[in-house]
Chain A
Amino acid sequence: MSTGRVRALAPADARERLVTARTTLVRALVGDRLGLVVFLGTVLALGLTWRVGVFINDNYTLANALVALADGTVVVDDAVYGSLDAPGMTVHEGRPYGRNYGQVAVALPLLWALGATTALADFGLVFASAWSLLLLAFAVQVGRLTGRESACATAGAVLALAAFATGAVLAEPLPERLVPLAALQLGSVLATALLAATVYRLLARIHDRRVGVAAAVGATLATPVAFWATIPKRHVTVTALLVGIVYVFYRSRTDEHDTEALLSPTGFRALAYALVGLYTWVHAGEAFAVFLALALVDLPTAPANDRRTLAVVGAAFAASLLPFFLTNVAISGDPLRPPRMLSEFGAPSGGGAFGGSGASGTEGGGGSLGDSPGRSGGSAPLLPEPVRTLLATAAERLALIFGPFVAGAKAVVSDPESLYRTVVRAGYDGYIGRHDNDQAINLSMLESAPLLAGAVALIATGGHRARAALGRSDGPTLGVRLRRSARTLRSSQIGATDALVAAVAVLFTLIYIPRLPLFAQVTVRYLLPVYVLAVYALARQSWARRVLAERGRAVVWSYLGGVLLGAQLIFVVVTVGSFGRGGAFQLHAVVGLAVGAAFACSGVGSALDERFDPATAVTGGLAAALGTNLTALSALVYFRYGPHVLPAVDWLADLLASA
């Protein structure tokens, strides 16, 4: 459809055709020029934190799988990095395989591109050079956006040259064997930048561009998304997919005929399911939770569920599942058996991922739905053997995939302390500490992203509304009102999107909550998508948007002050006080909780009375800044595991290490 439009518009001139193609690509991927600025700005910011190296030993699994895939096979015979005995390696019929093949496959073209680039340019200088060029592009785009093209382009040219010159002076050689690892990291960085642009597009459409940009910055830089953006694990990739699903879902819920749109509402609806299909290729278990949430919200709220629409949606979904099925067939021979359901390469550890042979997934499934296979077999004794086997298998699989939700719901009720330690205060735990070199480096969600505390004000807003609703005692009965709000949800594009976000957040949390708190999470990385969804919830609050619109300057200055001065202050305290890594993380935790609490209080205040707005602006800016500080100081000071891609940052990190 989009190509048809391009062809129709493109004049014969090849240059203009190129421009049209570029415009279409920009529109499809980042929306508009401001979206492009958000994208470029995110890449630039993440570039500052990027180190080429292995942060956590299951990075080996993906890096080795990528090297194998580049050689044209899914069998990981050699450990180019580390050892094959890394978490996440799986074995089927004696042959080792990786996992998250969707993420690995995306990195493959990046590996080729990076390989071609390093044939021409020195690997140690490639990133400095690319970063400088992106800085120039960023300045030019900002110039076009603000109408000061000449001034911004000049400033951009000077800054880019200065950045490049610094890089060239300080550049050190990087070993070529790190190219595949860097390609995998590049995939994560690009996914994060797309995530930021998508958050911007979603909220710019729901509200305005200011809210869009603020939410994009809040979701990526003020949460651990930035922390995990350069670490080649699945978390940011799936978060980007999830935000994409929410965005296209929002676009699918309109009945107005939008001539500007690249896809029809049904097209967007099909795309939402197609993104879920691609999600399965990265992590099938999580994708199932997302599918369930999407189907639960989509089917009742869709403008039409006629046979033709469902056929289009179904076909797109089926097509998008193909890579997942084909990869599984290539590995286990069973299209529904992803690598995570095979046996682990090494001794099974407590860290086994959801859906794998790790304890809780299977345990939960067996406990809650264990009798289903027997019942289905028993009630149908006349069925031929193959059908019975099929039913038994289906029931077993269903138990496996629904089990986690049941187990999650049980865990929330039976073990609220774990929930508290996951969300509010993690503290030090002997069992977790032993797995993390005796360091208290696992933070809770609020400790790692104090901005999330603002979501507490949701309760105040809800209470406010409930009181207003209850006040009208002469109104219709509760049942009538419930039915009416269900109808509103169906007709409201925003209401349906809110419902989808809430459903995904709940189901996603449920599948992981029985296993948390866990070691090697650092920032509850399993729940990374929930951070972004919480920022969405915050941006949807009218008080937060009012603070942003009327006290925007205060928000920006407190954020910048909190990052530029706050990070230095924390560094000085940590260095002078000899805090060590665990102590430093706990300092972030305690300060984060204090600022988060202040933000939650003033946010509740703002929700009720706008006189609290100045305080909310300052606490909100600082809360966001603390999230950024954790990522920045982790990159520069706390975790050093490889050379920074930017030589100047590497030099700075060396300097700070000797302080």
Chain B
Amino acid sequence: MDRGRVFAYAAAGIILGVTVLSGPAIGIVDLTTPRYDMSGLGEGNVTVDEVDLPSSVALDRGYQSQSYYLTVPDARIRLAAIDGKPTVAYGIDIPELGYSRSTTHFLSGGDTGWVTLSLREDTLGDDTVDAERYEGRLSLVLRASDGKTLLANRTVDVEVSE
């Protein structure tokens, strides 16, 4: 038996062996653990010293399409201290369009200093957008052990561009 063959059989043996040994029938070790531990979310405490919300939001005509994309620039917060796993929801409301959306970010132990929070972009139909400018409200809501607190909010222009 040549060397390549030995290696091939050994590799197949190791892969099958580890798979079966970690499987539910034997279960020596559990190799499948969630990458994000979702337990205790929204609990803990955090001290925020500074908040930076963008001043305008764009509603642009999509590339080669009739619909509009709502892009909200990132917000930033500076954390002085953190423990547990509090969450921050970054949201936007556009009352005239009856539109509301937010993205929740999980904060964790190592996140001191500036943290960037994004808001996922969204598509709005051609027929819903008819003005050139709307008024929107951005908000950052912290959820920690002492419940929900509004970290910051701000009224912004939502500029429609073709």
* Interface pair A172/B33, CB less than 8 Å apart: yes
Alpha-carbon gap, A589 to B18, bound state (A) = 45
Alpha-carbon gap, A161 to B13, bound state (A) = 10
A120 part of interface (Cβ distance < 8 Å): yes
In the complex, what residues of A have CB within 8 A of residue B65's CB? 427-428, 433, 439-440, 582-583, 586
* Interface pair B3/A150, CB less than 8 Å apart: yes
Picked from A129, A157, A173, A430, the residue with its CB within 8 Å of the CB of B7 is A157
In the complex, what residues of B have CB within 8 A of residue A173's CB? 32-34
* Interface pair B2/A149, CB less than 8 Å apart: yes
Residue pairs across A and B with CB atoms within 8 Å: the count is 160
Contact segment of A132-140, A180-188, A499-507? A132-140
Secondary structure of the A contact surface, majority rule: helix
In the complex, what residues of B have CB within 8 A of residue A586's CB? 62-65
Picked from A143, A433, A651, the residue with its CB within 8 Å of the CB of B4 is A143
Alpha-carbon gap, A119 to B19, bound state (A) = 11
Alpha-carbon gap, A229 to B18, bound state (A) = 29
Picked from B4, B8, B64, the residue with its CB within 8 Å of the CB of A440 is B64
Name the interface residues of A82-131: CB closer than 8 Å to any CB of B: 118-122, 124-126, 129
Interface size on A, residues (CB 8 A): 56
In the complex, what residues of B have CB within 8 A of residue A439's CB? 62, 65, 67, 123
A421 part of interface (Cβ distance < 8 Å): no
* Interface pair B35/A172, CB less than 8 Å apart: yes
Chain B residue nearest to A159 in the complex (CB): B11
Known: A120-B20, A122-B24, A580-B62. A438 touches B126 (CB 8 A): yes
In the complex, what residues of A have CB within 8 A of residue B80's CB? none
Picked from B11, B25, B121, the residue with its CB within 8 Å of the CB of A157 is B11
* Interface pair A651/B35, CB less than 8 Å apart: yes
In the complex, what residues of A have CB within 8 A of residue B22's CB? 121-122, 125, 168
A164 part of interface (Cβ distance < 8 Å): yes
* Interface pair A430/B126, CB less than 8 Å apart: yes
* Interface pair B14/A161, CB less than 8 Å apart: yes
Known: A150-B3, A433-B65, A440-B65. A580 touches B23 (CB 8 A): no
Interface 0/1 of B1-41, CB less than 8 Å to A? 01111011011101110111011110000111111000000
A326 part of interface (Cβ distance < 8 Å): no
Known: A143-B4, A157-B11, A160-B11. A428 touches B32 (CB 8 A): no
Chain B residue nearest to A121 in the complex (CB): B23
Alpha-carbon gap, A580 to B71, bound state (A) = 9
Alpha-carbon gap, A153 to B2, bound state (A) = 10
Chain B residue nearest to A169 in the complex (CB): B31
* Interface pair A122/B31, CB less than 8 Å apart: yes
A581 part of interface (Cβ distance < 8 Å): yes
Alpha-carbon gap, A149 to B4, bound state (A) = 7
A579 part of interface (Cβ distance < 8 Å): yes
* Interface pair B124/A438, CB less than 8 Å apart: yes
Known: A129-B16, A578-B71. A438 touches B125 (CB 8 A): yes
Known: A121-B20, A136-B11, A427-B64. A583 touches B125 (CB 8 A): no
Alpha-carbon gap, A581 to B67, bound state (A) = 11
Known: A120-B23, A120-B25, A157-B7. A590 touches B123 (CB 8 A): no
Alpha-carbon gap, A120 to B32, bound state (A) = 14
B66 part of interface (Cβ distance < 8 Å): yes
In the complex, what residues of A have CB within 8 A of residue B23's CB? 119-122, 125
Chain A residue nearest to B67 in the complex (CB): A438
Chain A residue nearest to B125 in the complex (CB): A438
Alpha-carbon gap, A433 to B64, bound state (A) = 12
* Interface pair A171/B121, CB less than 8 Å apart: no
Chain A residue nearest to B123 in the complex (CB): A438
Contact-residue bracket for chain B: 35 or more
A460 part of interface (Cβ distance < 8 Å): no
Alpha-carbon gap, A132 to B71, bound state (A) = 40
A156 part of interface (Cβ distance < 8 Å): yes
Interface 0/1 of B30-74, CB less than 8 Å to A? 111111000000000000000000000000101111110101000
In the complex, what residues of A have CB within 8 A of residue B25's CB? 119-120
* Interface pair A433/B14, CB less than 8 Å apart: no
Known: A154-B3, A157-B10. A125 touches B32 (CB 8 A): yes
* Interface pair B7/A153, CB less than 8 Å apart: yes
Alpha-carbon gap, A582 to B70, bound state (A) = 13
Alpha-carbon gap, A173 to B67, bound state (A) = 38
Alpha-carbon gap, A134 to B30, bound state (A) = 23
Chain A residue nearest to B2 in the complex (CB): A150
- Measured CB to CB, the closest approach of chain B to A141, in angstroms, equals 11
In the complex, what residues of A have CB within 8 A of residue B32's CB? 122, 124-125, 171-174
Binding site for A on B (CB under 8 A): 2-5, 7-8, 10-12, 14-16, 18-20, 22-25, 30-35, 60, 62-67, 69, 71, 118, 121, 123-127
Binding site for B on A (CB under 8 A): 118-122, 124-126, 129, 132-133, 136, 139-140, 143, 149-154, 156-158, 160-161, 164, 168, 170-174, 427-428, 430, 433-434, 437-440, 577-583, 586-587, 589-590, 651, 654, 658
Interchain Cβ contacts under 8 Å between A and B, 7 examples: A120-B20, A122-B31, A133-B12, A158-B7, A440-B67, A583-B62, A586-B65
